[in-house]
Amino acid sequence: MDFRLTEEQKMLQNEVRTFALREIYPHRERLRKKEFPRDIFQKMVEAGYAGAVIPQEYGGAGLDNLSYALLTMELCRADAGIGLSIGASQSLVAKPISMFGSEEQKRLWLPRIASGEVIAAYAQTEPNAGSDVASIRATSRVIGDGTLTINGEKQFITNGSIAGLILALVRTDEYDLKHPRKNLAMVLVDAQKALAEGTLKVTKDFDKMGLHCSPTSSLFFDNCAVPESSILGDIGQGFFIAMATLTGSRPMIAAQSVGVAKAAFDEALRYTLERKQFGQRIADFQLTQSKLARMAMKIEAAELLTYQAAWIIDNVNEFFPDAIMAKASKAKLFASEAAEEIASVAAKLHGGMGFMTETPISWILADSRVLSTYEGTSDIQELIIAREFLRPHGVRI
């Protein structure tokens, strides 16, 4: 077993770290505003990050999942909000199009995402359907002339109000209590066209504790007409595509969490080496050293689980078996909870300053809170992990 990154991966890591320190880190205070930073996004486009996972033949960089995890860690170490905006577009939309899209869909959308012309959003969650994905009620009906109409509400959609493309999970027939996963489809919606026609409305941009620069929106589809050719995969494959998408994306939330945990550790290290009490630096106290040591250990464990999950998705040519879903969930569960804990300990190491909104550690702590919630809460990750070893014994999860 070789734990070393390749020379190419190390170069990518260094390049993104340098980029993030130069183009994102100095703007952290501005990124606390509820405003998407188009200038910084444009710089990320120019650096090739908006097409990171998109195959080269469609204008992207064609990175594998492990390299993409490295990129995500470095961006999110500088600012998790900007990292999420890029990440949602890549992991939740560009990847499923690459995996399940027709040639026409790939040619239509992937080069536009890679060039930054289009930012993409993934619309699965609804006001009454969060963890219970199969209970979504937004509908899509064929109206006869090769057109579908979409109706319904989506909530908490990252990039929702800035999206040029929305990948929406919809129900193609009545909700069937016995078979809720049936009759679901993923549909690609040209958001700018739908907004111009008034069949898509952004009804809200949420105010959040953290990740301020990443818009989180409510969307309303009102007889939104799209060509039938906009269905990703087949009608009826929606739930499967959603699960495959989330399994592929969870290692990236784990990578985001590692980035946030490292940012918290950076702040803790800097502060404990500066701040003096009882005539010495607080880093000179063994109790502080113990805390820093545990933070460093958890970061490394989270990093290794993330690498493993990303590597497995790169190297095993199936994405749905329980064992692979469990690997992605273990990485996401451990890394997200570690990030929240590390950010909390780092804030405590800042004493009273850690509670002040002028300190970067308070921003990082706020950002860390959501990592164990989106793309499946920790409870849901635990169920996925348990399923791997309980299903063979007839336990239904």
Ligand X SMILES: Cc1cc2nc3c(=O)[nH]c(=O)nc-3n(C[C@H](O)[C@H](O)[C@H](O)COP(=O)(O)OP(=O)(O)OC[C@H]3O[C@@H](n4cnc5c(N)ncnc54)[C@H](O)[C@@H]3O)c2cc1C
Contact with ligand X (CB under 6 A): which of 12, 157, 260, 349?
157
Binding mask 255-294 for ligand X (x = CB under 6 A): ----------------------------------------
- The residue to which tokens 């049936």 are assigned: 182
Name the 3-class secondary structure at 77: helix
Residue 367 sits in the site that holds ligand X (CB under 6 A): no
Q: Which stretch binds ligand X (CB under 6 A): 14-22, 102-110, 151-159, 348-356?
A: 151-159
Q: Which stretch binds ligand X (CB under 6 A): 153-161, 185-193, 305-313, 356-364?
A: 153-161
Which of 69, 88 has the CB closer to ligand X? 88
Q: Which stretch binds ligand X (CB under 6 A): 43-51, 262-270, 286-294, 367-375?
A: 367-375
Residue 130 sits in the site that holds ligand X (CB under 6 A): yes
- Report how far apart, in Å, the C-alpha atoms of 357 and of each of 118, 210, 352 are: 34, 11, 11
Q: Which stretch binds ligand X (CB under 6 A): 138-146, 155-163, 300-308, 344-352?
A: 155-163
Q: From CA 73, how far away is CA 83, in angstroms rounded?
A: 8
Residue 307 sits in the site that holds ligand X (CB under 6 A): no
Among all residues, whose Cβ is closest to ligand X? Answer: 130
Please, what is the minimum distance in Å from the beta carbon of residue 375 to ligand X?
A: 6
> Where do the H-state alpha helices sit in the chain?
7-23, 38-46, 65-78, 80-89, 95-100, 103-114, 191-197, 238-274, 286-315, 322-349, 360-368, 378-390
Q: Which of 116, 221, 131, 111 is nearest to 162 (CA)?
A: 116
Q: Is 274 a catalytic residue?
A: no
Q: Which residue type occupies 392?
A: P
Q: Which residues contact 166 (CB under 8 A, 6 or more apart)?
A: 120, 121, 122, 123, 157, 160, 188, 189, 191, 200, 219
Q: From CA 37, how far away is CA 103, in angstroms rounded?
A: 32
Residue 374 sits in the site that holds ligand X (CB under 6 A): yes
Please, what is the minimum distance in Å from the beta carbon of residue 377 to ligand X?
A: 3
Q: From CA 204, how far away is CA 222, in angstroms rounded?
A: 15
Q: Where in 104-123 is the site for ligand X (CB under 6 A)?
A: 122-123
Q: Which tokens is 155 given?
A: 């909530």
Q: Where in 206-235 is the site for ligand X (CB under 6 A)?
A: 211, 216
- Residues of this chain that interact with ligand X (CB under 6 A) are 88, 122-125, 130-131, 156-158, 211, 216, 370, 373-377, 379-380
Residues classed as catalytic: 375
